[in-house]
A and B are shown apart, each in its own frame.
Chain A
Amino acid sequence: MTAYIGKRLLAAIPVILGLSIIVFLVMKLIPGDPAQALLGSYATPENVARINRALGLDRSWPEQYVIWVDNLLQGDFGRSYILNRPVLDEVIERFGATLILAGASLVICSIVGILAGIASAVRQFGWTDRIVTFFVLVGISMPAFFLGLVFILFFAVQWRLLPASGMYAVYGGGDLADLLRHLILPAGTLAIVATGVVARLTRAAMLEVLRQDFIRTARAKGLSENAVIYRHAFRAALVSVIPVLGIQAGFVLGGAVYIETVFQWPGLGQMLVKAVSTRDLLLVQGGVLVAATVYVLVNLLADVAQAMLDPRLKA
């Protein structure tokens, strides 16, 4: 197992390098001269040249990339001029909040999605299946940012059950119970789409597995239908559901952008949207890179979990 994990870790390195290249290239898409943009009305030719030299912009792209990566490895993601603090500090602080939100959503979508998918497959074409299928369709067609607003209208404004925004109450909050109260609406909203996708794929995986020869063997042994479904079929279906959960991690990390904006959650997504509108590009660059790296690691975790479930994959 250790060897397998090591192998997967090694394989992740080129992927992360590739991510950094794409982020680097995207930043090169910026129309116009960055030094000019930075200096604004102070953009005399001498000043532009000086800034270009200072930022290394007078060198070739490959050189610039190497310098940039070297800085990243030393923890230097640059400085946000708008916030006037190092990018990495801001990103790490914000990313904590996003991880809480995205992690909670991932837990919700895994549990609810898998249970709904199984129930739906077991009673295929029955009422449970029809209801689940309908909600799945509604879930994947629903704009999460709109659903969030509707939830705020009902749960926060109309019924006053839950807070509409923020991560902690402004006065007297700050403990776990307070966090959970603030977490329910945004995490639930963020999980809607992912839950639909997980339920749909779990249903398909279960139906596929229930047709396999080894299920017939389990029945021929005289196992109860429950043992056949929840032990034999589910175990085999889980192997193909795990990578789907890995992909959902990417969807909730990305979807957090909308949810954090709607619910004023002080996370990375909200930071990114603000940074885009203030054109704080180093902050965007750092935030995207950190989120993407975490996503790669989550998928690596999913691979390892899958290999632990299926001994055939370790070879």
Chain B
Amino acid sequence: MTPSVTTQPSPNRRRSNWQLLMANRLAAAGLFIFGFILLVAILAPVLPMPDPNMTDQPNRLLPPLSQGHLLGTDHLGRDILSRLVWGTQISLIVGISATALAALFGSLIGLVAGYARGVTDSVLMRFVDMLMAFPYILLAIAIVAALGPGLLNALYAIALVNIPFFARNIRGVTVSIRNREFVDAARLSGKSHASILFTEVLPNVLPVIVITMSTTVGWMILETAGLSFLGLGAQPPTADLGSMLGQARAQLFTAPHASIIPGIMIFALVMSINLLGDGIRDVLDPRLRSGALDRPLSVTHIARQTTPAATLADAPVLVVDHLFTGFANGGAVTPAVRDVSFRLGKGECLGIIGESGSGKSVTALSLMGLVASPPGVITSGAVYIGGQDVLSLREHELIALRGARVAYVFQDPLTTLHPLFPVATQIAEAVMAHNQVSKRAAHQRALELMETVGIRDAADRASAYPHELSGGQRQRIGIAMALANDPDVIIADEPTTALDVTVQARILELLQDLRRERGLALLLITHDFGVVAQVCDRVAVMKNGEIVEQGETASILRAPQHDYTKRLIACVPELGEGHAFLDRVRPLFEETRL
């Protein structure tokens, strides 16, 4: 791997989870509101409020801000504020209890199913699937119908219908850790299954249980309130927030405040919990912090301090001049490509060779601004295509050059071709991106291209999807797509690495033929000196983001100057060499060992 050389002192002081959570303003607001509601609900018995169930007929349906009744009174003259606080307490208790019950039984099912696998797993998970096959709330209603309306029965019903969420999540995690080394070790040490499950597996599953609880508790409060609203939960005179709303509904037009106040309370409670839950999930999910889920822009971010000449006279088709590309990491940029320069003429082939992480692919992708950004950023240098610096072009001008003047062939065509479009459509699309032609003409051209790259019965294969073709055929499609607009330069990024050896040779041959016939400039990225020797006129050796040696292939093979080059060359074994290969290679590596 590339050692991470950082250009600026990194502000990467690790912050605690708590600090991260508080830095998220929405989550902090959620925590504050939820904390306040929780506090008031807990303090309900000691707060100076009237009895929530004390009726006062003469003073019914008083509006908010009335004397002695801050939020007014309901249809029986009861104090709404007092009922609200007590109702919140009940809603919280019921919602949290339902979550705890669902978490307990769901986690237990998930743990046992995931740990035992086999028949136990199948039976338990089929049962869970059946529960999930019901439209969510209808099963709860059926249960309440059977048990009879009531707060406790509503709680059981909501808990039961939420068991599947926990069972599925927990089972997934359990399956992934049941074969880990520490579980094996515990098993070998003679621990019982139950003891392994609770002392080894459970602690590792606990965070998932907590996350699932924090993301479902708001939902469960909402659902229990819903059942009470329908009159199936809390029964008078007990009132949770849902039944307050349900009872006040009859006076919606004459006293809307009696409905709106508990409604807003449910909303505020659930919203604060959801804000907090999202915040907790974001803090605990490392993918969100690393920016791995950021949307890549259409062109790599270009932030050059200097402005190189926009054009270059008498230049060959491709000139790369002191190129620097890095990856933004917090405030700093970790460089991946440093001061890379090379030239490539018509009909020429330049190989860029290096191990993985040496920066050769990032170099290749930088040329047309294809490095995913964020986090990619081109910090310096220029790329001249036909004497014109493409990095100073406008976005749509650069996009217009892609595929037209400079085309790419990527490594693994199974992941680099679109899985859901037939291959001929994908080639035709490349044609239409740069030519005003009809769909039919583009399709015809695609078939011709497929024949050019040696796909027999092209007309039959045209409607095939990438997964229906062999690896070699897929790579031929990739090459056909690159040829679609007669580009000047083809950049082939490890085009044969995913293929087996015989197919590899044929694909290289195809690239060679095309280069000769069409006068293409070929930039070949590889880690294999055998491939370089076979195809390239010149070669540049990359290590840690820099070109350490560059020259004619023959002379570099004959007299490599850099130690790293010597090692790369030595790594190409010869047929029948046997142990001599290891003897030859060993001393080259011994001196570098730390």
Contact = CB atoms under 8 A, between A and B. Distances in A.
A binds B: yes
Interface of A: 15, 18-19, 21-23, 26-27, 29-31, 121-122, 124, 137-138, 140-146, 149-150, 152-153, 157, 204, 206-208, 210-225, 227-228, 232, 235-236, 239, 249-251, 253-255, 257-258, 261-262, 272-273, 275-277, 279, 281, 284-285, 287-288, 291-292, 295-296, 299, 309-312
A143 B146 contact: no
Nearest to A229: B298
B130 A216 contact: no
A290 B295 CA distance: 43
Contacts of A257: 137-138, 141, 230
- If over half of A's interface residues share one DSSP class (helix, strand or loop), that class is named, otherwise mixed; here it is helix
A258 B485 CA distance: 59
Contacts of A299: 133
A309 B263 CA distance: 42
Contacts of B468: 311
21 contacts: A26-B143, A26-B146, A143-B242, A149-B245, A149-B260, A153-B256, A207-B294, A211-B292, A211-B296, A217-B408, A218-B418, A219-B399, A220-B370, A221-B429, A222-B399, A222-B485, A261-B230, A273-B232, A281-B146, A292-B134, A295-B134
B407 interface: yes
B137 A254 contact: yes
A219 B468 CA distance: 23
A219 B298 contact: yes
Contact of B263 (A150, A214, A215, A220): A150
Contacts of B467: 311-312
A42 to B, nearest CB: 22
B407 A220 contact: yes
B248 to A, nearest CB: 9
Contact of A146 (B266, B292, B410): B266
A141 B133 contact: no
B139 A288 contact: yes
Given A142-B267, A143-B266, A221-B430, A29 B143 contact: yes
Contacts of A31: 147-148
B412 interface: yes
B222 A143 contact: yes
Contacts of A287: 138
B103 interface: no
Contacts of A218: 418
Interface string B201-231: 0000000000000000011001001100111
Interface in B484-517: 484-485
B433 interface: yes
Given A19-B133, A157-B253, A219-B402, A213 B410 contact: yes
Interface stretch (B68-76, B178-186, B269-277, B452-460): B269-277
Nearest to A226: B298
B278 interface: yes
A31 to B, nearest CB: 7
Contacts of B412: 213
B32 to A, nearest CB: 16
Contact of A137 (B137, B144, B271, B400): B271
- If over half of B's interface residues share one DSSP class (helix, strand or loop), that class is named, otherwise mixed; here it is helix
Contact of B404 (A152, A222, A288): A222
A288 B420 contact: no
A252 B110 CA distance: 27
B274 A137 contact: yes
A104 B77 CA distance: 40
B416 interface: yes
B270 A279 contact: no
B259 interface: yes
Contacts of A228: 298
A211 B372 contact: yes
Contacts, number: 241
B191 interface: no
Interface string B419-438: 11100000001100110000
B304 interface: no
A69 B103 CA distance: 33
Contacts of A272: 138, 141, 145
B403 A220 contact: yes
Contacts of B135: 249-251, 253-254, 291-292, 295
A208 B263 contact: no
Contact of A220 (B144, B219, B293, B368): B368
Contacts of B293: 204, 207-208, 211
Contact of B231 (A144, A217, A273): A273
Of B133, B139, B144, B485, most buried by chain A (CB within 10 Å of CB) is B133
A291 B130 contact: no
B142 interface: yes
B410 A254 contact: no
A236 B419 contact: yes
A288 B433 contact: no
A222 B401 contact: yes
B419 A284 contact: no
B245 A276 contact: no
Interface string B108-140: 000000000000000000100111011111110
A224 B420 contact: no
A292 B429 CA distance: 44
A216 B410 contact: yes
Given A149-B263, A258-B230, A19 B218 contact: no
A30 B153 CA distance: 12
B274 A236 contact: no
Contacts of A310: 419-420
A292 B230 contact: no
Contacts of A291: 135, 138
A157 B126 CA distance: 49
Nearest to B408: A220
A309 B372 contact: no
A145 B245 contact: yes
A209 B564 CA distance: 38
Contacts of B131: 22
A157 B133 CA distance: 39
B429 A277 contact: no
B475 to A, nearest CB: 12
Given A273-B232, A276-B141, A288-B138, 7 more contacts: A30-B147, A143-B242, A149-B260, A216-B372, A235-B418, A254-B138, A276-B145
Contacts of A19: 130, 133-134
B418 A232 contact: yes
B481 interface: yes
Nearest to A223: B433
A138 to B, nearest CB: 7
A222 B372 CA distance: 15
B580 interface: no
Nearest to A211: B296
A188 B172 CA distance: 36
B245 A146 contact: yes
Of B145, B146, B433, most buried by chain A (CB within 10 Å of CB) is B145
B401 A296 contact: no
B149 interface: yes
Nearest to A16: B133
Given A214-B418, A277-B231, A281-B146, A221 B433 contact: yes
A146 B468 CA distance: 52
